Chain A
């Protein structure tokens, strides 16, 4: 155990400037920590260096807290404390601290370069931690800052490692270290190249390109060959990545358009206030989360799931209200409907702006929707992934409702032949209201999903209304599958144009293509056939 500590101490020393050797000998850790409170950035950097140089595992919590922004100074008592999730603790003993009523906590702030220093200092001290996640980030630290002096420690860690992910990263870190060590033998360095390729994942290209710059001539062909291989597979993966981006954009379009496919596609109402239903869904999510945060903080991770039915009911009810109040007087008068719903959209926008203010509102992303995962060579972000899944669920649910429920049957009957349906005893006004409410409710669901990728502002709906109409018209009015295919086609086409044409030109090109397409096929991709169309 003692030798281990000695090695740690040596290691951390070597990570730092040689000049620190002299200062590191007397280790008055509490005094250094106390000095953090009043230190400026430069002084803080030297305190961190000194603390790391002690090699004492006791400083790990302090450094972790400092790097994570959880280290505070109590202005009243001058004490340095760690603000944990539930309690305030002492940085060295880890015991809970009661600061009393007069406490005035102010955070000890760090910048990027200090954060990097802390990470590399911590890497040395935590490589043997019991927690795999900690070991993983320690190995990442070594990967980011390779130093030949770490090889023995890495070897020891690799021998003891049981977690395969951490092991791979440690081996990569070791390979990178050997590769970048100009003292190591050429053969050793050459042998390290495959290790880098295998273990470093997305960083492999960065690391190899960096190594290439300083490599001796004998080593160059090996690195260049490895790079060429990586570039080739990256080209394949980036095409697949584009498809994924396209699917993801398509799913957002689908969500935004699918409610409109009901109100505009099935009912034939040009509903300019559709975007505002999306926006109201987003604000409902915000309110639901606000209530949950204040009253049931434990449910915060599920707030989006709770918001789904609430948003559906709220926007659905508003939709029914709009249909009963405004739209039913305007059936068969598309221009008036357009103007009335457009006016309504402005009223709704300004109402929300007056109530909530013009600034964006915040919906916190649940932990299961943050971050990303590497799926082979694809980087898939969780929020987009769940939105794709959600869009598919909503789409198929809607399909089920339209094709397998009595309400769906009545809706289709009313839209195909209103008078016939009426004479068969269907309450057409009721069905109209329900259909419009369903379309609006689905727009509200889209709003819940959009809180995860867009601003929650009164203008939220405006950004989606045109895209939604585009999708519905392109896919074929009155056909849900048309909307589905249309959304995905537009999403993928957009994402394939974007890298070449840029975001601005890409969107213009898509518009031009749609105009040309509509010229050729005025009824969209999947045109409805039969007598219903001729009405």
Chain B
């Protein structure tokens, strides 16, 4: 019953003429390299994506201060996709064809990524996608700098199983592609680990769901079977605040039924009194509270750029930073911004991440990341209670789903394929 989507589609149609124009004036200089920024600055996703737009402007300003790339200054071209996915595809085309950008950083939802994919493939340009996603995809023109399920969901489940002794699982998610696919992988993983199917409860809710009474009370009932229960939440966006509020009000404490979330970060918690949430968990590859010199410097620079001491940093921001730095290195290594040259040169490049490790671009266009589990604190920050010892390489195709276990992605010669079947040794049709 998502009427807001219909509404925003109409809105987009009505205003397309107005907002499709680049917000930053094009300077019409030949000695700049143009970078497209494709995020929602209005509509439902504006809450998360506006910050990412600012992050990109911040990174570009920093790089320009260092002398730009290949001796040229970088020039950001910002467009607003207004939380409207068909519009995203149009604007992506406009960025590449009309504005002539050499790389695009953007999208948040999987729907957005899926709708712009064909454009990047057709026009052979580059997209850096900074958000954790459901996997089961690898495309030649896309670089996935967020976590794939094996870099977020699977380690989080392992943590709950081994450290908290969880035996009963609630997989709660918003009803769209990311939670559905992630939960499919998780369910298979839990069944493989010997969890009975009676001990798994799967629940989906619409976008922006605000009445969580029944579901929270169901979770309480489900958790009263004498086994340690945990909730694995792929609930996205605005629905989280009422969900956690209801948990707090119905007295579901983290000590009894912990909730581990994959879409709740510092930015989402900043509009919220987190006292009732203390102890609930989130799994990410970066937390603002991580104590490293790199992170401290990044936060200080970011806050002075944005002009507020209150602004937080989060995981997709780090992903944009890594993606941007890798792109800069690849352009410098290739000596050109040409898409094919960058795709060839970027694989294997390394850049430091903010948690003291190194992000390496893998042949499947995913990167290596540490996995951190944090507990929510009452100041809206996370306290890291567990982390992987080594960096985890991103896996495009889940090893836990029978239909994708034999697939690999490798965009280097000689395979050069996004869904290479290791059993039949063939590339499974056109790469997607």
Taking Cβ atoms with an 8 Å cutoff, the residues of A that contact B are 41, 69, 107, 109, 111-113, 115-116, 119, 202-203, 205-210, 212-213, 234, 238, 241-242, 245, 248-249, 252, 346, 350, 353, 357-362, 364-365, 370-372, 379, 381-384, 453-459, 462-463, 465-466, 495, 498-499, 502-504, 507-508, 511
Kindly list chain B residues whose C-beta atoms are within 8 Å of the C-beta of A504. 175, 204-206
Are the CB atoms of B1 and A511 closer together than 8 Å? Answer: yes
User: Min CB distance, A461 to chain B, in Å?
Assistant: 10
Are the CB atoms of B42 and A350 closer together than 8 Å? Answer: yes
B416 at the interface (CB under 8 A from A): no
Are the CB atoms of A456 and B271 closer together than 8 Å? Answer: yes
Are the CB atoms of B377 and A381 closer together than 8 Å? Answer: no
Alpha-carbon gap, A34 to B276, bound state (A): 29
Contact with A along B244-266 (1 / 0, CB 8 A): 01101111001100100000000
Is the interface on chain B under 10, 10 to 19, 20 to 34, or 35 or more residues? 35 or more
Are the CB atoms of A111 and B279 closer together than 8 Å? Answer: yes
Are the CB atoms of B251 and A360 closer together than 8 Å? Answer: no
Contact of A203 among B209, B224, B250, B278 (CB under 8 A): B224
Are the CB atoms of A455 and B238 closer together than 8 Å? Answer: yes
Are the CB atoms of A463 and B215 closer together than 8 Å? Answer: no
Alpha-carbon gap, A382 to B209, bound state (A): 20
B158 at the interface (CB under 8 A from A): no
Stretch at the interface among B22-30, B44-52, B341-349, B362-370: B44-52
Interface residues of B in 1-22 (CB under 8 A from A): 1, 3-4, 7, 11, 15
Alpha-carbon gap, A456 to B276, bound state (A): 18
Contact with A along B373-389 (1 / 0, CB 8 A): 00101100001010000
B424 at the interface (CB under 8 A from A): no
Are the CB atoms of B163 and A113 closer together than 8 Å? Answer: yes
Kindly list chain A residues whose C-beta atoms are within 8 Å of the C-beta of B268. 360
Give B267's nearest chain A residue, CB to CB: A359
Alpha-carbon gap, A491 to B2, bound state (A): 18
Are the CB atoms of A358 and B46 closer together than 8 Å? Answer: yes
Kindly list chain B residues whose C-beta atoms are within 8 Å of the C-beta of A111. 279, 375, 383, 385
Contact of B4 among A69, A362, A459 (CB under 8 A): A459
Taking Cβ atoms with an 8 Å cutoff, the residues of B that contact A are 1, 3-4, 7, 11, 15, 41-44, 46-47, 50, 163-164, 175, 203-206, 208-211, 213-215, 217-218, 220-221, 223-226, 238, 241-242, 245-246, 248-251, 254-255, 258, 267-268, 270-273, 276, 278-279, 375, 377-378, 383, 385
Kindly list chain B residues whose C-beta atoms are within 8 Å of the C-beta of A252. 211
Give A463's nearest chain B residue, CB to CB: B208
Contact of B251 among A41, A372, A383 (CB under 8 A): A372
Alpha-carbon gap, A207 to B248, bound state (A): 22
Q: Which of B43, B163, B217, B249 has the most CB of A within 10 A?
A: B249
Give B45's nearest chain A residue, CB to CB: A358
Alpha-carbon gap, A498 to B213, bound state (A): 11
Are the CB atoms of B241 and A206 closer together than 8 Å? Answer: no
Assuming the A-B contacts A206-B225, A455-B238, A462-B7, are A115 and B250 also in contact, with contact meaning beta carbons closer than 8 angstroms in the complex? Answer: no
Are the CB atoms of A455 and B271 closer together than 8 Å? Answer: yes
Alpha-carbon gap, A115 to B1, bound state (A): 41
User: Min CB distance, A101 to chain B, in Å?
Assistant: 20
Kindly list chain B residues whose C-beta atoms are within 8 Å of the C-beta of A69. 278, 377-378
Kindly list chain A residues whose C-beta atoms are within 8 Å of the C-beta of B205. 503-504
Kindly list chain B residues whose C-beta atoms are within 8 Å of the C-beta of A371. 249, 251
Are the CB atoms of A112 and B204 closer together than 8 Å? Answer: no
Alpha-carbon gap, A212 to B213, bound state (A): 30
Give B375's nearest chain A residue, CB to CB: A111
Give B4's nearest chain A residue, CB to CB: A462
Are the CB atoms of B255 and A115 closer together than 8 Å? Answer: yes
Interface pairs (10), CB distance under 8 Å: A112-B254, A113-B164, A212-B226, A234-B221, A353-B46, A357-B50, A379-B251, A454-B242, A459-B44, A462-B4
Kindly list chain A residues whose C-beta atoms are within 8 Å of the C-beta of B271. 359-362, 455-457
Are the CB atoms of B42 and A507 closer together than 8 Å? Answer: no
Alpha-carbon gap, A116 to B254, bound state (A): 10
Alpha-carbon gap, A342 to B417, bound state (A): 48
Alpha-carbon gap, A163 to B221, bound state (A): 29
Kindly list chain B residues whose C-beta atoms are within 8 Å of the C-beta of A382. 249
Alpha-carbon gap, A203 to B251, bound state (A): 12
Kindly list chain B residues whose C-beta atoms are within 8 Å of the C-beta of A207. 226
Kindly list chain A residues whose C-beta atoms are within 8 Å of the C-beta of B204. 502-504
Are the CB atoms of A457 and B276 closer together than 8 Å? Answer: no
Are the CB atoms of A119 and B42 closer together than 8 Å? Answer: no
Are the CB atoms of B254 and A453 closer together than 8 Å? Answer: no
